[in-house]
Amino acid sequence: MKAQRVPDSNLKVAVKPTPATTFRLDGKVVAVTGGASGIGQAIAECFAANGAQIRILDIDVRHGETVAREIVEGGGNASAIGCDVADQAGVARAFQEVFRNERVDILVNNAGIAHVGKLENTSEEDFDNVFSVNVKGIYNCMHACIPHMKESGGGVILNMASIAATSGLADRFAYSMSKGAVVAMTYSVAKDYLAANIRCNCISPARVHTPFVEGFVRKNYPGREAEMFEKLSESQPIGRMADPHEVATLALFLCSDEAAFITGVDYPIDGGYFKLRG
Ligand code: NAD
């Protein structure tokens, strides 16, 4: 199978979102955490192209504002707020800023960080860092949004998990732990807030070609970037990584009214990773 080359750091995704006639989000306000880069950026662009008003919450407010500005320049509605999802008080303040003017219909909990290592080379600090962003960050955002969604008649929550959640990726101890918790939180919230008309699902992508992957390959495998990139591409039977916009299209469906019957589900988007290996 032909491997992908290691891209340069100025990653540009090839596929652009196409406005669809179904799965429209007109009039809906969508909060996207981690919307300044990668999958979150693709979700912000895709949802905006389908009528949503985007509120990006990202620790990297400069890139968040750039993404929002590009959406606005393209005729959409978007803004960005600086926010560390690991900080509960900061998250509450960021959402209060949004709630002052509008209701949030859809929350996409996408912000996340990577960590490479087995249990023995995962320090307590690494463990806490991964947990505080990937697990507590999602709890914090749902904690801020659920009372508001209940009061305003319901909503949709979509969490970004990973194939690591249920397959326990090699050399990704803390990361796999954190994504397992994302799936469990998704099921729990879906069950507890069914009566409040809140749907809650998660997506589990295999490798997606984003700065996240480039960053951890560069940091953890210096000098072996091309080899690792090829290995990561080939771990999907389909022979490549996903494009972030492919994940965004699934997210759009799950957050649209067409998916009204779907809640409490972990959706793999994995290039055959789970079922077609071996
Ligand atoms: P990315 O690094 O390109 O983007 C992550 C974004 O989250 C960045 O804009 C970053 O600034 C933001 N962020 C990080 N920490 C934050 C914090 N504490 N508070 C607020 N924002 C913060 O990553 P990506 O590849 O687009 O990944 C997005 C999500 O998808 C993550 O949850 C990741 O675990 C998950 N995921 C990625 C892949 C992959 O192969 N890329 C596969 C499966 C799941």
Q: Residues 170-195: what's their mean pLDDT?
A: 98
CB proximity list for 261: less than 8 A, separation 6 or greater: none
- Would you please indicate which residues are annotated as catalytic (active-site) residues? 175
Indicate the SS3 state at residue 250: helix
Cβ of 86 below 6 Å from ligand 1 = yes
pTM of the complete model: 0.93
Q: Which of 98, 138, 131 is nearest to 115 (CA)?
A: 131
Does the pLDDT at position 132 exceed 50?
yes
Indicate the SS3 state at residue 12: coil
Sheet containing 198-205: order of strands: 77-82, 53-58, 29-33, 106-109, 155-160, 198-205, 266-269
What digits encode the pLDDT tens for the residues 204-240?
Answer: 999 999 998 888 899 989 999 999 999 999 999 999 9
Residue-level pLDDT at 212: 87
Closest Cα to atom 32, ligand 1: which residue? Answer: 112
Q: Residues 12-18: what's their mean pLDDT?
A: 59
Residue 205 CA: which ligand 1 atom is closest? 43
Residue-level pLDDT at 5: 47
Cβ of 133 below 6 Å from ligand 1 = yes
- pLDDT above 90 covers what percent of the chain? 88
Does the pLDDT at position 20 exceed 70?
no
Dihedral sign of CA atoms 124, 33, 47, 243 in order: negative
Cβ of 256 below 6 Å from ligand 1 = no
- Domains of the chain: residue spans and CATH: 29-206+243-269 (3.40.50.720), 211-241 (no CATH)
Look over the chain and give the mean of its residue pLDDT values, rounded to a whole number: 94
